[in-house]
Structure 1
Amino acid sequence: MRSIRKGVVRTVLKMAGDLDNLEYYIKFPSPNFNYNQQNGESDYVFVVNEEKIPVILLFGWAGCQDRYLAKYSQIYEDRGLITLRYTAPVKCLFWKRFQMITIGERLVKLLVDLNFENHPIIVHCFSNGGAFLYQNFMLALERSPKPIQIKGVIFDSAPGKRRILSLFRAISAILGGRPLYNIPVSILMTMFLSMIWLYEVISNYVSPKKTFQSNPLENLKDDRNRWPQHFIYSKTDILIPFTDIEYFADYRQSVGIDVTSLCYDDSPHVKHYSHNKDSYVNSVCNFLNKCLNGSN
């Protein structure tokens, strides 16, 4: 592990079938990193065991390019923490969702292979794409040969209920390009994926124990894990309404989970950091301090 502590390592998760070449990015702190100064961020000095440095898992939103996710991982890297970022392929998030099971299992195996099972781990997931990956990661943790020390999870713009309009907007944002191409293709893909949703709803009703679960908000409501959860969201998010996130957060709090939140008035979906850097960083660092207190 020491041989790769020099910067970002771009690595490939080898998987079977059409899940080849899944890339994740990992970065270790410099061996000379000063945890007492942390690049001048004196307000947030994480007292860590340097043999068990906290690991931040960043799960990107659907269609997220790594260069955008890297801006978030920099928050943690500047403070001497290990970061591992990964975004599930769009096809796995939308129509080949059963493959998310394998992705979750491989991510858990990766942590074990890296000897991270004794490190405190925080998950930071974005939108429903990141929450869906987190859901399958949690399922894989239950079958892990070694216990992994998850200390908390941050939900950025998630989770939200499945809605046709939100699906259309998400697909349109992923496709980009000119409206003459974007709109009709987005409509067709929305119709196709809506049929898949309908099939899943019917299948869950007929045989709930045998059907693959792919609704993060409903499936994570009764998650048995008890670590703290932090929610960052906005009242003007057009993809995931703030009422969905507050419903989920309130439910989790009602079952005894330590829940904290930060709600903005006007920042767009998964862009809260770029519009509110200081308060965003303060929020995640406060949450990390709470989760890591006494964990190392």
Structure 2
Amino acid sequence: MRAHFKRRNMAELDNLEYYIKFPNPNYNYTQTTNGDSDFVFVIDENKVPVILLFGWAGCQDKYLSKYSQIYEERGLITLRYTAPVKCLFWKRYQMIQIGQKIVKLLIDLNFESHPIVVHCFSNGGAFLYQNFSSALSKSPKPLQIKGVIVDSAPGKRRLGSLYRAISNIIGGTFWYNLPMSILITIVCSIMWIYEILSSLLKPGCSIQSDPFEILKKEKNTWPQHFIYSKADVLIPYQDIEYFADYRENVGVNVTRLCYEDSPHVKHYTHNKESYVNSVCNFINKCLSNGRN
């Protein structure tokens, strides 16, 4: 399939950089993919589903684009965005505005009548989803969110997990990585404490305390699909199962795919067939059940 590709870095959106891809206008939505009819999405061709992909902290788009290809090859619109690392760790207040900009972007693109599914990765993507979800409640036009796929997230805040995440992002030699990772972990920890104290002293303040707890109690009840692994060393699978259980107990339609040995945000790389089956089946279910 050939698709139109467009990359934007627009001043009117305050340099919110994103990547969007549209299917070929002549794409045949009745065709099968690899002979598997499960991959045929029954859709209104005037309202092609939009998949929002929110990358993990430090994610390069060349890696996130491999996931968007799953959907592009099946005739769906994809929009990819990864929040800047500085916004995820030490300028976290800016995430509120980013969430609002993404909602505005979707409305500017006239996507409010299209079914939308979010696919977010790790805590970075989940944190972005949290702010996007919050911004939806203030949107001048309602968006048709049909479901959320959560890959390798969410996880509770722990110093060890924070250190490992920062170390992975920084990379480089051991002697450079170690002191920089420790320093940034200490700074982020101090900011966590400040956020917690601010939320306790000033209830309702805009400072974001704990994304895990905020997402756990979010009011939106569209279906959620969790993909995770028992071998994940960044986010313990027990965190994800606890979160999924909680959401299921408050009435959310929850499905799960747990692997035994795939690394953090690399489940697709290690288990392509089952991963693709899982996300496509979930989207088919979201499109057919008519829930908002």
Tell me, what secondary structure is at the counterpart of 2:149? Answer: strand
Q: Which of 92, 96, 99 is the aligned partner of 1:97?
A: 92
Cα distance in 2 between the residues matched to 1:165 and 1:118? 43
Instruction: Return the match for 1:124 from 94, 119, 139.
Output: 119
1:7 alignment partner in structure 2: 4
From 191, 196, 207, give the equivalent of 1:201. 196
Deviation at 1:216, TM superposition (A): 1.9
C-alpha deviation, 1:167, in angstroms: 0.6
| Residues 182-193 of structure 1 mapped to structure 2, 5 A cutoff | 182-193=177-188
State whether residues 127 and 157 of structure 1, in contact with CA within 8 Å, keep that contact through their aligned partners in structure 2. yes
CA distance in 2: counterparts of 1:141 and 1:272, whole angstroms:
29
State the Cα deviation string for residues 9-66 of structure 1 (Å, max 9, x = none).
11114368xxx53310000000111111144353311011010000000000000000
- Distance (Å, rounded) in 1 between the aligned partners of 2:72 and 2:209: 32
Match of 2:19 among 17, 25, 50: 25
Where do residues 105-144 of structure 1 align in structure 2 (5 Å cutoff)?
105-144=100-139
Give the partner amino acid of 1:7. Answer: H
Deviations 1:96-129 (Å, cap 9, x if unpaired)? 0100111111100010011000000000000010
Q: Is the 8 A contact 1:38 1:78 kept in 2?
A: no
Question: Hey, what does 1:215 align to over in structure 2?
Answer: 210
CA contact (8 A) 1:100 1:136 kept: yes
What is the one-letter code of the residue matched to 1:8?
F
Distance (Å, rounded) in 1 between the aligned partners of 2:158 and 2:283: 32
Other structure's SS at 2:23 match: coil
Q: Which amino acid is the alignment partner of residue 30 of structure 1?
A: N
Unaligned runs of 5+ in 2: none
Shift of 1:222: 1.2
Q: Give the number of aligned pairs.
A: 289
Check if 1:287 corresponds to 2:282: yes
Percent of aligned positions that are identical: 69
Amino acid at match of 1:146: K
Q: TM-score, normalised by structure 1?
A: 0.94
Unaligned runs of at least 5 residues, structure 1: none
> Aligned partners of 1:242, 1:164: CA distance in 2, in Å?
17
Deviating beyond 4 angstroms after TM superposition, the runs of 4 or more aligned structure 1 residues are none
